[in-house]
Chains A and B, each alone.
Chain A
């Protein structure tokens, strides 16, 4: 027997007998968590079951999943075989969702910060205590300062419901989504100003004769059905034009790689349009039928000769001509991709307008291979919080700025108001699934904004940089443990049979620990703040069922159909008679902006500095995945791409370690390796975004690689939209000893 003599003797001694009476008394005060059950034969529970209805959120493309579940544990994720979107394919990140689900660093219980904001000392508290505290603090701020005393930074499908509660019912206008103000908002409003609708990524690449990507680096940016469309197009023989200062994965497949000078893309696009117009290579019929203000634009851009653009863009005039001719020769079956993350230089609205106008010049709307919106399923119900009686005091309206902003308020305006108290104080902050420290330029200002708050509440699945600043930190169910998002659409290739699909996110496993879903958390806070009578749905299931009911579906029905409902679709090609491309837009002019697409030069790097460019990695989703064990193993840090000639001048070799100093003297906290390559311009360096978290709670991701965001201190605000451009910062490299 292995119990050693000392212990055995001890157990037999009278001293334990004496001690064991109080021991048993003490032990009896708590129920044991391990209880007697009927004997279960070995091998029971071993059947692996398939759970349907999963929708990925390792990135925001949201592929359809099934989970292989054994005895309550998720053991594998796969694409849903019924999917006509991603199909059975999921990417590396999708596979690694399991490592997020079971990441030991994940938030498990409500936490209260009993230390300092930014240097927290956590104490686990009950949900009751956490909710009471959040509600009383938030209500206190609303009572004292009005609803605009609150700011909210939401992100992701689960943040929509709480966002509407705080925005509509409580009434704060200070809501800022990174997905709009640091990502795609400019694209959406620029296309709305041009063609009346947000573009999505709706170019018919599988059936295109030419695909043009401007900054898009597919293959590094992985969205499964998006990539399928792109690759099918290439497989079908489409020519590929890639405009990028860097030899990206897409540039590697390109027929023409335009190694453009950063920030000058609009000049490039204007020259193409001018060349096409001057040489009668544009779609006259389309322009006549659907163009508005074409003559104004044609005249306004007539100065943009190939040579002028060539000098500005630092590419040969002949190459711009080659691109223009290739597009014209294959028009209208060309995919001018609108991009996705587009807030780059502060002149981005104009670039996006130019892309939309170029599509019009080529007549590439509604045609095979062009810009084509899918005709997806319709009729869904709506769940929303009711509007309160408050008057909006939106900061962008008060400032009289950014009339073409996406929904919400530019993040910078909220931060400025919070820091200055002008036009009103902002003293409470709700952060839901967003990490503004790694999304908004100038981290120190964000931190100061948080420090001046009376109360900060964070809801997330993981600790992040920003959760260090929470007073109360609440653990949310991950996308694998909750109901919410409705994923709907059509088959990815319009050449295939027209079909529509509807699916809703369903949990593949039960949430562990004390994690709760966003509907429950929001409702509990709302009740405690006195809005109990305004609650629109009692549970996440009710929310999803109400939305699905409009389309004659339900959770039960979707489950019975293996998680995805499929129905006949419609031919998406063609455009309505009144479809209009506003080559010149008077509304823009009325607000003091150029009516036609216009090139606005950006600042040049100071001597000795290079422009800091960043982008997506195929196995990471920005900072969200940096702690994922599998993905970290695949890509532990973000090497900096440096031009080979520059490296030689700086005495850097491939594999050397470097730190960074930016134009404002800000130093990187960490170092990374150098990747020496001819595949990048001399005036820029490039790295993947989303590394080097400052939160040591991230056991895997802490200080791994360099946080490019920490070096982005200078704002480049897009004047039409108020979105933050993030590629106008400059760095020099310092070799680490």
Chain B
């Protein structure tokens, strides 16, 4: 555990907290089922810009090449999302729910799901609806965005350490190794980068 560094405390509206909120919000959308309501040309261009600003030029180029070659990028992503996260032959690659990996004996709605939702509530947040469980990676990133937006970076750290990283690392490996598409590979790379605790 790294000692808390007061120099890095943030206040609402500070650049780093706001920036982090937007990044988490963006990554949450990357982990949401691709819907034309948000996943449009602008989204994909922004994704490439973000990669350039992170000095990930080769990944940005990879996305660019795909976009040039694919007549229907939205459908491509929908099929890949379904394969990776919903249902697939031979099998779904990485169900995006924490409880599958930790504390749930391979089931949905395990102990981790409950702890995750409790954490949201104790921070003054909750799910807008019950369609997906609290430990869907998309919700966890949305929650992190909400916390960051309020400048509560310490809480984001606590959440990441206690409830997010323990399962995300397994999830990340599966997607990273088996994603057939740069979009998801790059997305989980970025999520890893923005959630990783480093010495």
Could you list which residues of chain A lie within 8 angstroms of chain B, going by C-beta atoms? 1-4, 7-8, 10-13, 15-20, 22-27, 29-40, 42, 44-45, 70-74, 98-99, 101-105, 107-109, 111, 114-115, 119-124, 463, 468, 473, 510, 512-514, 629, 695-700, 702
Name the residue on A nearest B199 (C-beta): A4
- Are B89 and A73 in touch, CB under 8 angstroms? no
Could you list 5 further interchain pairs (A-B, Cβ under 8 angstroms) beyond the known A7-B196, A16-B15?
Answer: A11-B20, A15-B53, A512-B130, A513-B132, A514-B131
How many of chain B's residues touch chain A, expressed as a range? 35 or more
Interface string of B34-51 (1 = CB under 8 A from A): 010110101101100110
Option from A29, A103, A514, A695 in Cβ contact (under 8 Å) with B38: A29
- Are A26 and B26 in touch, CB under 8 angstroms? yes
- In angstroms, Cα B88 to Cα A124, docked, is 11
- In angstroms, Cα B83 to Cα A122, docked, is 7
- Are A2 and B197 in touch, CB under 8 angstroms? yes
Could you list which residues of chain B lie within 8 angstroms of chain A, going by C-beta atoms? 2, 4-5, 8, 15-16, 18-20, 22-23, 25-26, 28-29, 32-33, 35, 37-38, 40, 42-43, 45-46, 49-50, 53-54, 75, 78-79, 81-83, 86-92, 95, 97, 100, 104-110, 113-114, 117-118, 120-122, 124-133, 138-139, 142-143, 145-146, 153-154, 157, 160-161, 193-194, 196-198
- Are B145 and A30 in touch, CB under 8 angstroms? no
- Are B78 and A124 in touch, CB under 8 angstroms? yes
- In angstroms, Cα B157 to Cα A101, docked, is 33
A109 vs chain B, min Cβ distance (A): 6
- Are B15 and A33 in touch, CB under 8 angstroms? no
Given contact pairs A32-B25, A104-B108, A71 touches B124 in the complex (Cβ within 8 A): no
Given contact pairs A30-B37, A119-B89, A697-B88, A2 touches B124 in the complex (Cβ within 8 A): no
- Are B87 and A3 in touch, CB under 8 angstroms? no
In the complex, chain B residues whose CB is within 8 Å of the CB of A15: 53
A32 vs chain B, min Cβ distance (A): 5
In the complex, chain B residues whose CB is within 8 Å of the CB of A70: 114
In the complex, chain A residues whose CB is within 8 Å of the CB of B107: 98-99, 102-104, 629
- In angstroms, Cα B42 to Cα A50, docked, is 49
- Are B4 and A104 in touch, CB under 8 angstroms? no
- In angstroms, Cα B83 to Cα A115, docked, is 12
Given contact pairs A22-B42, A44-B121, A121 touches B146 in the complex (Cβ within 8 A): no
- In angstroms, Cα B26 to Cα A296, docked, is 84
- In angstroms, Cα B22 to Cα A10, docked, is 13
A464 vs chain B, min Cβ distance (A): 12
- In angstroms, Cα B83 to Cα A555, docked, is 40
Option from A10, A31, A33, A514 in Cβ contact (under 8 Å) with B54: A10
- Are A697 and B92 in touch, CB under 8 angstroms? yes
- Are B142 and A32 in touch, CB under 8 angstroms? yes
- Are A123 and B82 in touch, CB under 8 angstroms? yes
- Are B88 and A123 in touch, CB under 8 angstroms? no
- In angstroms, Cα B5 to Cα A125, docked, is 47
Option from B18, B42, B92, B117 in Cβ contact (under 8 Å) with A26: B42
In the complex, chain A residues whose CB is within 8 Å of the CB of B194: 7
Given contact pairs A1-B157, A34-B125, A34-B142, A72 touches B130 in the complex (Cβ within 8 A): yes
In the complex, chain A residues whose CB is within 8 Å of the CB of B121: 37, 39-40, 44-45
- Are A24 and B157 in touch, CB under 8 angstroms? no
In the complex, chain A residues whose CB is within 8 Å of the CB of B127: 33-35
Name the residue on B nearest A700 (C-beta): B106
- In angstroms, Cα B40 to Cα A22, docked, is 13
B117 vs chain A, min Cβ distance (A): 7
Name the residue on A nearest B160 (C-beta): A2
In the complex, chain B residues whose CB is within 8 Å of the CB of A98: 107
- Are A697 and B46 in touch, CB under 8 angstroms? no
28 contacts between A and B (CB under 8 A): A1-B2, A7-B193, A8-B8, A10-B54, A11-B15, A11-B20, A12-B15, A15-B53, A19-B50, A22-B49, A26-B29, A35-B146, A37-B125, A37-B126, A45-B121, A71-B114, A104-B92, A104-B107, A108-B86, A109-B86, A111-B82, A114-B79, A121-B83, A123-B79, A473-B87, A512-B108, A513-B132, A696-B91
- Are B87 and A107 in touch, CB under 8 angstroms? yes
- Are A1 and B8 in touch, CB under 8 angstroms? yes
- Are B97 and A30 in touch, CB under 8 angstroms? no
Option from B26, B38, B82, B161 in Cβ contact (under 8 Å) with A23: B26
Given contact pairs A32-B128, A33-B142, A109-B86, A19 touches B118 in the complex (Cβ within 8 A): no
A633 vs chain B, min Cβ distance (A): 10
- In angstroms, Cα B89 to Cα A119, docked, is 7
Option from A13, A19, A119 in Cβ contact (under 8 Å) with B46: A19
In the complex, chain B residues whose CB is within 8 Å of the CB of A29: 37-38, 40, 43
- In angstroms, Cα B2 to Cα A107, docked, is 43
B192 vs chain A, min Cβ distance (A): 11
- Are B33 and A35 in touch, CB under 8 angstroms? no
- In angstroms, Cα B25 to Cα A618, docked, is 49
- Are A20 and B18 in touch, CB under 8 angstroms? yes
Option from A11, A74, A122, A698 in Cβ contact (under 8 Å) with B16: A11
Given contact pairs A20-B18, A102-B108, A124-B81, A697 touches B50 in the complex (Cβ within 8 A): no
- Are A697 and B146 in touch, CB under 8 angstroms? no
- In angstroms, Cα B89 to Cα A700, docked, is 14
In the complex, chain A residues whose CB is within 8 Å of the CB of B153: 1, 3
Option from A22, A33, A101, A463 in Cβ contact (under 8 Å) with B87: A463
- Are B29 and A30 in touch, CB under 8 angstroms? yes
- In angstroms, Cα B2 to Cα A4, docked, is 10
In the complex, chain B residues whose CB is within 8 Å of the CB of A698: 91
B195 vs chain A, min Cβ distance (A): 9
A715 vs chain B, min Cβ distance (A): 29
Given contact pairs A26-B38, A108-B87, A35 touches B106 in the complex (Cβ within 8 A): no
- In angstroms, Cα B114 to Cα A70, docked, is 9
In the complex, chain B residues whose CB is within 8 Å of the CB of A121: 79, 83, 89
- Are A1 and B4 in touch, CB under 8 angstroms? yes
In the complex, chain A residues whose CB is within 8 Å of the CB of B143: 34
Name the residue on A nearest B110 (C-beta): A102
- Are B15 and A17 in touch, CB under 8 angstroms? yes
Option from A37, A45, A629 in Cβ contact (under 8 Å) with B105: A629
- Are B131 and A19 in touch, CB under 8 angstroms? no
Name the residue on B nearest A70 (C-beta): B114
- In angstroms, Cα B29 to Cα A17, docked, is 20
- In angstroms, Cα B114 to Cα A629, docked, is 20
- In angstroms, Cα B179 to Cα A428, docked, is 35
- In angstroms, Cα B50 to Cα A16, docked, is 8
- Are A122 and B82 in touch, CB under 8 angstroms? yes
Option from B8, B37, B54, B124 in Cβ contact (under 8 Å) with A37: B124
- Are A26 and B16 in touch, CB under 8 angstroms? no
- In angstroms, Cα B84 to Cα A124, docked, is 12
B197 vs chain A, min Cβ distance (A): 4
- Are B138 and A71 in touch, CB under 8 angstroms? no
In the complex, chain B residues whose CB is within 8 Å of the CB of A10: 53-54
In the complex, chain A residues whose CB is within 8 Å of the CB of B118: 42
Ranked 8 nearest A-B pairs via Cβ: A696-B90, A4-B198, A27-B25, A15-B53, A11-B16, A1-B8, A102-B108, A29-B38
